[in-house]
Structure 1
Amino acid sequence: MTIPHPAQRIKVAIAGGGPGGLATAIALDKVPNVEVVLYEKSAVLREVGAGISIGQNSWNVLELLGVADSVISGHPTLAVLNLNGRTGEELTRTERVVKGKHTSIRTERTHLQAALLKHVKPGVIRYGKKLQKTEDLGDAGVKIYFTDGSSDIADLLVGADGICSVVRDGAWPTYPLKFTGTTIWRALLPRKELKALDPRFDITGWWHLPTSHVWFSPVSQGLSEIAAREYQDPKIHSASKSTWGVPVTNEYVESHFTEYLPQIQAAIKAIPYGAWREFAAFAGPELSRLTAWNNKIVLVGDASHALSGAFGSGAGFAMEDGWVLAQALALFGNDLNKALPLFDEIRLPYYAKMYAHLDEQKQKRSDTLGKIKEPTEEDRVRSKVIGMGGKDMSWIYEHDIGKTWEKARGRLDV
């Protein structure tokens, strides 16, 4: 890493110990004169969820972070299916080709977390520190208050605390985060058990009805993930921000998927009692900046783009954010007033393109159904699947953040 300017000493506090927070800590450790402390609300760092995707974009940033070789297990996702959940009809099949050093995989979220943790220096993470509020101290930095009564002051606060970010709430107090109407239930089950019910369950795929789907995807040699998702009108049904990874009864989950194929219902019923976790999906509008308080606040990961995991690569985006932030600080000798605007310049257009893509998908689904006078259930399922694809998505799934950085760096007279 080339440092064209003498680096001033700064303290950076990171809120949140997910992939984005850990990657930011790893990347900042390579920047001279940066003191890093990561605050994690849990007493023990643990991932909430089941599986996670590591595509070429994620592998690219993991290589830059020096972490890729620590990710030791996962299952290739070279074929992806979309099927009708009532009839079993295969609607689309995507065959992926390995283009780089690594194969796209699904793995357990804990595996990615463990790989990242290996590269975070001892003493950087402070556990049991749930963020309560933040305060702008002007030239003195940002004051961070925790629910245990303690506090800290940093020159820069990185909000890596997820879609319901406390950091974002403090700096953007009117940000309208809302329940989307979608609830997701996640669990893990032995692959052998699922494959016995239907061999297609051993291929990554979505099984759809018009307002719901059930997703199956192997995440290791022995386990597969089930993610069951249903949409209900948010004007009628509400949810709490705290509904994230909370236990839910098997009977409750099963009651939402009684119209699916018998083997899908059997798979859902096979989940061990108490293993289901419920996640309420929230979303919010595009931000015009990812930095605030005169360049003392910066958002990374889901905090910066509240899209409820719409692209299935949130960990990759968050890690890219953290890596770019570190490069910008190094480039400008930790001058926040130069580094953070560059971070915005690089990452804002990327997230803007995601919001635009989702708007296009929604319009595409509407246009498809609008051409049918009385759409059947099969028509609505097909329009849903059509709206999910049809465009080259390599700008996300093959994104090389290193090349993006070099391109931006080349435009600067530094």
Structure 2
Amino acid sequence: MAIDTSISQLRVAIVGGGPGGLATAIALSKIPNVKVTIYEQASVLREVGAGISIGANTWNVLELLGVADSLTSWHETWTTLNMNGRSGKELHRREKARNSVKHPPIRTQRTKLQSALLEHIDPRILQLSKKLVRMFDLGDAGVELHFHDGSIITADLVVGADGIRSVVRDTAWPGYEIKFTGTTIWRTLLPWDDVKDLNPTFEVTGWWHSPTTHVYFSPVGDGLWEIASRAWHDPAIHAASKVSWGVPVDNAHVESHFTEYLPEIREALARVPPGNWREFAAFAGPELAELTAWDSKVVLVGDSSHALSGAFGSGAGFAMEDGWILAQALAHFGNDRRRALALFNAIRVPYYARMYAHLAAEAARRAAKLHEIGSPSFDERVEAKIITDGGSAMAWIYNNDIGAVWSEAVREIGKEK
């Protein structure tokens, strides 16, 4: 196919090889006259964590990327539970509608999603052991990226897909600061056969709560079962020591946070093989007014753009939506960075602003409910945590159709002409 020389050539450096970076590369690789390279700091591309949820919004973008059929092996999550972790009382059950759904809501291994995306990546565009250490704005000449191994490259557009501790963001937005939220997460996978004798409810995806902790159980396919447990630690006391992300911790440390739970929950935690737990400290940062910088030569996707610490459990989906919208905007404007990134901002900034507003409102709701009670008991504090609207208020996230969002944006552009 002949190259359309009327379209500007664009050298794109994607920093980060997670779902957002890989999806952005897939989408951009379909645009004429775009040369994409992914720079990943790890020496081996490996997903850190355990499970990941794939709902309608994420399936939508996977379809648009041409990746949906490559994702295999999962557990369908039509039913999700919220339980009192001490009494075992069911506090809320959500049943998702099965009619007119092409793909089921699922929980799968993070590595399965990564593998599906990698099937659609030319391995020649992926460079490993490339830890970004600094960037420089060269004006019309682009952006110069310096890596830990001493190598230096120049790009016309840098996509920061390097997560919540983004070097790209911290360089182009030097005043930005993330802080420990107080939440520490411990994750692991183990065979379902090792725990299936404990409680049949454990085979249903669900959260088991105390007032300041919870334990999440879910099958993820391939005969594996996931535990994601969380506890709150006062940031004023623990912030200095909370820098972990996927580091091993011993079983006794994890189990010590859940001593008031049901015996079968404590036993499930005890059956995790030594050395299998990984600890993640949750950080978050303030809302950004723009996701682009340096005269439209830098753009953020995924957690780097909205440091919400996984608050909605759909971060990979958001990141892939970002990458797909970025590619559509560049294609629409013939690789004109300024016009494309202005449209990217117009579409994605209000979306993330709505998420920040929702979290603030939810925090206020919980505080007001506890204040109304006065001196809440253990059970009342647990119940105050639970959102009982069945998820209907969150359809703008979990049923988001990014293809329809893009079509509407294009229609609006047409009206302005």
- Structures share fold, TM-score greater than 0.5: yes
Question: The residue matched to 1:412 in structure 2 has which SS?
Answer: helix
Distance 1:240 1:160, change over 3 A: farther
Question: How far apart are residue 370 of structure 1 and its match?
Answer: 1.2
What residue is the counterpart of 1:253 in the other structure?
254
Question: The residue matched to 1:348 in structure 2 has which SS?
Answer: helix
Aligned mates of 2:66, 2:283 — CA distance in 1: 32
The answer to whether structure 1 residue 80 and structure 2 residue 59 are counterparts is no
Question: The residue matched to 1:88 in structure 2 has which SS?
Answer: coil
What residue is the counterpart of 1:150 in the other structure?
151
The answer to whether structure 1 residue 56 and structure 2 residue 56 are counterparts is yes
Question: How far apart are residue 100 of structure 1 and its match?
Answer: 2.2
Count of aligned pairs: 412
How much identity, in percent, do the aligned residues show? 62
Question: The residue matched to 1:82 in structure 2 has which SS?
Answer: strand
What residue is the counterpart of 1:220 in the other structure?
221
Matches within 5 A, 1:160-175: 160-175=161-176
What residue is the counterpart of 2:138 in the other structure?
137
Aligned mates of 2:171, 2:242 — CA distance in 1: 16
Question: How far apart are residue 242 of structure 1 and its match?
Answer: 4.5
CA displacement 1:173-221 (0-9 Å, x = unmatched): 1112100011000000111222211111111100000111000011004
Q: Please identify runs of 4+ aligned residues in structure 1 that moved more than 2 A.
A: 3-6, 192-195, 239-242, 386-391
Question: The residue matched to 2:309 in structure 1 has which SS?
Answer: coil
Matches within 5 A, 1:333-352: 333-352=334-353
What residue is the counterpart of 1:93 in the other structure?
93
Aligned mates of 2:15, 2:404 — CA distance in 1: 28
What residue is the counterpart of 2:316 in the other structure?
315
Aligned mates of 1:36, 1:355 — CA distance in 2: 31
Matches within 5 A, 1:345-384: 345-384=346-385
Matches within 5 A, 1:276-291: 276-291=277-292
Question: How far apart are residue 5 of structure 1 and its match?
Answer: 10
8 A Cα contact 2:4 2:32, kept in partner: no
Structure 2 letter corresponding to 1:316: G
8 A Cα contact 1:67 1:116, kept in partner: yes
Question: The residue matched to 1:225 in structure 2 has which SS?
Answer: strand
Structure 2 letter corresponding to 1:321: D
What residue is the counterpart of 1:110 in the other structure?
111
Question: The residue matched to 1:237 in structure 2 has which SS?
Answer: helix
What residue is the counterpart of 1:396 in the other structure?
397
Aligned mates of 2:391, 2:26 — CA distance in 1: 36
Aligned mates of 1:244, 1:228 — CA distance in 2: 14
Structure 2 letter corresponding to 1:46: R
TM superposition score normalised by structure 2: 0.96
Structure 2 letter corresponding to 1:47: E
What residue is the counterpart of 1:28 in the other structure?
28
Structure 2 letter corresponding to 1:154: A
Structure 1 unaligned blocks of 5 or more: none
Which has the higher mean CA deviation after the structures are superposed, 113-122 or 388-397?
A: 388-397
Aligned mates of 1:191, 1:317 — CA distance in 2: 30
Aligned mates of 2:50, 2:159 — CA distance in 1: 26
Aligned mates of 1:4, 1:335 — CA distance in 2: 14
Question: The residue matched to 1:260 in structure 2 has which SS?
Answer: coil
CA displacement 1:267-305 (0-9 Å, x = unmatched): 111111101000000001110000001100000000000
Aligned mates of 2:116, 2:30 — CA distance in 1: 18
What residue is the counterpart of 2:71 in the other structure?
71
8 A Cα contact 1:83 1:90, kept in partner: yes
8 A Cα contact 2:135 2:171, kept in partner: yes
TM superposition score normalised by structure 1: 0.97
RMSD: 1.6
CA displacement 1:68-115 (0-9 Å, x = unmatched): 000011110100000011111100000012342100100000000000
The answer to whether structure 1 residue 186 and structure 2 residue 175 are counterparts is no
8 A Cα contact 2:284 2:307, kept in partner: yes
Aligned mates of 2:389, 2:229 — CA distance in 1: 17
Question: How far apart are residue 239 of structure 1 and its match?
Answer: 4.8
Aligned mates of 1:408, 1:33 — CA distance in 2: 24
